[in-house]
Amino acid sequence: MKKIILGILIFSIYSMAGQYDKVRISPDTSYIYVYHKGKAVKIHRIQNIKHKLVGEYTKLYKPNKYIQPAKVNRKIETIGEIELLKFMEDKSNSKQGIVIDLREKHQYLKESIPSASNIPFEIKDRPEKLEKVLEIFGAKRLSSGKLDTSNALDIAFYCDGLWSNKSALIIKKFIELGYPTNKIYYYRGGFQMWKILGLTTVSNN
C-alpha cells in the first residue's frame, strides 16, 4: 500500500513539475523570462498540441508582397527564434540591446513579441525622427557628421513575416545613417513565424 501511494505521489509531482515541457522551445529549454515594459514575462510555447492558428497570420498570400531573401546585407546577421531568445536574455534583459517591431502601431498595440518596442515603418521618411531614435539608442552625432556608436545598443529588427520588406528597408536606412552593421540583427521570420511556433506574445493595449 505504502509503495503504491509513494509511486502515485512521485508520478503526480513529476506530472505537475513540467508544465511547459510538453512543447518545448529546444530540447533543454521550456521557457525563458524577459523584461517587457518593466515586467518579467515568461516566454514558452502553446502546450495544446491540437491548437491551430487562425486569423491574420495564417494567410499564405499577401497582395504585392514577395518572399524576402535570408540576407538583407552580407554584413548583417540574420537570426531565427532561438537566436532572438538568446538576444533577449543576453542583451535586452541587461539593457545592452533592444528588439524593434517595425509593424504598424495598431498591430503592435494589439500583440507583439515580448521585450519589443515599436518603431512604425513610416519613420523611414522622417529623417528628424530617425536622428532622435539613433540618440535614444545611444548613438551620438559628432560635429564632423560622423556617428559615434561606441555606446550604442544592439538592435534586432523584425516586421510582419517572411514576405515583408520593412526590416530590410529600415536596416538599409540605419546603415546609411552610420549605425554599425555588427550591432544590427535581422529576425527574418518576423511576427508570423513567432505566432506559428506558438510562442508567448504580449498585448500592449
Partner 1 sequence: MRQILEHFSLMLVGILSIILIYLIVQYNLIDDEVIIESVKIDTTNKPEKLKIKAKTKTNDYLKNMETYRDVDVSVSKSKNEINMNTVKVKSEVKVTNKVSTNSGHKDKVGDALDNLLQDL
Binding site for partner 1 (CB under 8 A): 1, 4-5, 8-9, 11-12, 15-16, 19, 22, 35-42, 44-51, 54-56, 59, 61-63, 95, 98, 105, 111, 114, 117-120, 122-123, 126, 129, 132-133, 136-137, 153, 198-205
Looking at the Cβ atoms of 47 and 78, the one nearer to partner 1 is 47
Looking at the Cβ atoms of 78 and 180, the one nearer to partner 1 is 180
CA distance 81 to 41: 16
Looking at the Cβ atoms of 71 and 132, the one nearer to partner 1 is 132
Looking at the Cβ atoms of 74 and 95, the one nearer to partner 1 is 95
Shortest reach from residue 70's CB to partner 1, in Å:
25
Looking at the Cβ atoms of 78 and 165, the one nearer to partner 1 is 165
Specify the DSSP class assigned to residue 33. E
Residues 6+ apart with CB under 8 A from 34: 40, 41, 43, 88, 89, 92, 93, 114, 115
Which among 98, 93, 70 is positioned nearest to 157, based on CA atoms? 98
Shortest reach from residue 133's CB to partner 1, in Å:
7
Name 118's bridge partners.
Answer: 101
Shortest reach from residue 75's CB to partner 1, in Å:
24
User: β-strand 97-101 against 116-118: which pairing, if any?
Assistant: parallel
Which among 132, 96, 92 is positioned nearest to 113, based on CA atoms? 92
Shortest reach from residue 69's CB to partner 1, in Å:
23
Cell of 181: 552593421
